[in-house]
Amino acid sequence: MLQQNIVLHTNGKKLHNITRQVEAVLDQSGIKIGLCNVFLRHTSASLIIQENADPDVLADLETFFAKLIPEDASQYRHISEGVDDMPSHIRSALTKTSETIPIANGKLALGTWQGIFVWEHRNLGHTREVLVHITGC
């Protein structure tokens, strides 16, 4: 069993691929079969498993969410932290803050085109913490 924190410095609204960092934690654990739980410790960013080959998929997701959840201060009461804060909380609520991935043969059992992403929903960069917990044998 191993638990490790990954610190990520984002540079504003975008998807940040953390697959390699999570794989590095798994490699340190020596676990060959088990589960990897990845947990994002924030409410204005999210964690998703998504396409890691074609960047157009990520761009389309960002465009869709921007249209679905506009940054319009007239629509929200919680605006004390900026016009992007409440939309960020909504985006996070519609996605996830944790993922559990099976481990097989010492590797994350992700699909061919899957990657693990932290999705920064705020306009400015933030320091984000991702807790990776590996269990198994």
pLDDT digits (tens, 9 = 90+) for 47-83: 999 999 999 999 999 999 999 999 999 999 999 999 9
Contact 128, 118 (CB under 8 A): yes
| Domain locations in the chain as residue ranges | 2-136
Give residue 67's pLDDT: 97
pLDDT value, residue 83: 96
Residue 94, class by beta-carbon neighbours within 10 Å (0-12 exposed, 13-18 middle, 19+ buried)?
exposed
- What's the order of all strands across the beta sheet hosting 14-17? 14-17, 114-120, 45-51
pTM of the shown model: 0.96
Which residue positions in the chain have pLDDT lower than 70?
A: none
Q: Homologous superfamily of 2-136 in CATH?
A: YjbQ-like (2.60.120.460)
Identify any residues that bridge with 89 across adjacent strands, giving them in sequence order. none
